Amino acid sequence: MLHDAPLRCPAHKRPRYYAETMNRTGALNPSPRTLDVETVVHFDQLVTAGADSMNGWRAQSLDLRGHSRELKALDAQGAIFLGCTFDDGVEESLRRRGALLFPTLHGIPFNPYRGSLYTAAELYPDISSTEYESTLDAQVYQWSILPGQRGNLDATLAAALHDHAIGDALDELLDHGALAGTKIVGVMGGHAAQRGTREFADAARLGRLLARSGFAVATGGGPGAMEAANMGAYLSGLPDAGSAAALEALAAVPGFRPSVTAWARQAAAVVESHPEGTPTLGIPTWFYGHEPPNLFATHIAKYFANATREAILLELCKGGIVFLPGAAGTVQEIFQDACENYYGAPETITPMVLVGREHWERTFPAWPMLQSLAAGKPMADRIFLVDSVEEALAVVSG
């Protein structure tokens, strides 16, 4: 029937074969003639190689002071500069000669044109001696919930530009960065899992097993099961005793309530003891700003728009998604992923693994509904209900 046609799904529920025509940010793929000039060094290399035109160049958040001579010598027609810094008089020269310049936006606590993902050190600067409320992460959240902010055009524009930049940086990480060529498995689960509990240890063991099996681990980037999975992957290079010691150390501060500061400091101490961990990905959101991002994700793609964040997280997990026990947010993610698999071409369907029979059959009976949806569909043999994280690993490895 017409209402079942896949292209009538909302954008964040469109099937994977539709999304293949798009990049990971949800925007149309850039023109082949667009060149991202990612660093000042890259700019210098292009000039040294003999470039005489910047047509199609796109520079973002570059400090180009001291490059006035080169910028004035190059043909500027068709160039785009987003939030770049120039010597006096250069901006007017570039505009006059056909370049498009997006100005630096003032009065906001973040860079909307940033060229890279976040790190925990950036979101939690000097957390060992600084209260969480003074960190970049907290300041951005406070900015986002100021009265009237959601209806403010400048704020909306800044947030949209920021999320687009994060999408670009995420593409770069997956195409050319630390996670290039690695199959990603998503781990979803509740934020309520406390350090020192069996639930937290299970999630950490899952992250460890996945990383040791060659997968990259991606989570929603928050606390609870998400932190545990990122931690397990990050510390996967340690012997079992080292991983157990880190879990024990974390348990001294079980959760982020009542003090995010104490929670973050305990994690920062573990990371400081093991600074060369395995790369992991966290994709949190300031929409749920009361849930702080965990410090064990080496690459943090933090968005303002939660719908964008959710869709991108699901889309990236080509190795499948493991759903640990959780509540409303995890249930939402199960059925958002189910919608993509339901309408997806058979070749694009990825495994969905629910861990915990009691939880998913009785406490929150998502499994019976998922079975009903899958009946008679290609996804039917790609959904699984298991009792242990070891079984979940066997499914995604199979």
Over residues 322-344, the pLDDT tens digits come to 999 999 999 999 999 999 999 99
- 98 and 174 inside one domain: no
**Spatial separation of the C-alpha atoms in residues 64 and 59, rounded to whole Å:** 10
Whether pLDDT at 19 is above 70: no
AA letter at 324: L
Kindly indicate the confidence band of residue 30, based on its pLDDT and cuts at 50, 70 and 90.
very low
- 95 and 187 inside one domain: no
Residue 38's pLDDT is 86
**Spatial separation of the C-alpha atoms in residues 216 and 286, rounded to whole Å:** 24
- Region 261-280: mean pLDDT is 98
Give the single-character DSSP code of 327.
S
Residue 6's pLDDT is 35
Q: Which of 11-20, 78-87, 198-207 has the lowest mean pLDDT?
A: 11-20
Q: What pTM does this model have?
A: 0.86
Beta partners for residue 60, in sequence order? 82
Instruction: Give 166: exposed, middle or buried? Use CB within 10 Å, 0-12, 13-18, 19+.
Output: buried
Distances (CA, A) of 126 to 251, 257, 258, 367: 22, 20, 20, 44
- 360 and 265 inside one domain: yes
- Choosing from 102, 120, 146, the residue where a domain stops is 102
Query: Phi, psi at residue 3, to the nearest 5°?
Result: -75, -10
In 3D space, the residue among 218, 213, 222 whose CA is nearest the CA of residue 281 turns out to be 218
Percent of the chain having pLDDT more than 90? 86
The answer as to whether 224 is a domain residue is yes
The answer as to whether 145 is a domain residue is no
Its domain, for residue 236, covers 169-397
The answer as to whether 377 is a domain residue is yes
- 11 and 88 inside one domain: yes
Residue 130's pLDDT is 95
Looking at the structure of the chain, the number of domains it has is: 2
Q: Mean pLDDT of all residues in the chain? A: 91
- 59 and 190 inside one domain: no
Q: Could you tell me the two tokens for 365?
A: 């009976």
Distances (CA, A) of 324 to 75, 188, 200, 329, 387: 55, 6, 10, 11, 10
CATH code, domain carrying 380: 3.40.50.450
The answer as to whether 123 is a domain residue is no
The answer as to whether 112 is a domain residue is no
- 97 and 174 inside one domain: no
- Choosing from 102, 119, 152, the residue where a domain stops is 102
Per the document, the length of the chain is: 398
Contact 64, 42 (CB under 8 A): no
Residue-wise pLDDT for 177-226, tens only, equals 999 999 999 999 999 999 999 999 999 999 999 999 999 999 999 999 99
- Choosing from 87, 102, 117, the residue where a domain stops is 102
Helix axes 389-397, 198-212, angle to 10 degrees: 30
CA angle in degrees (0–180, nearest 5) for 153-158-161: 120
Instruction: Give 46: exposed, middle or buried? Use CB within 10 Å, 0-12, 13-18, 19+.
Output: middle
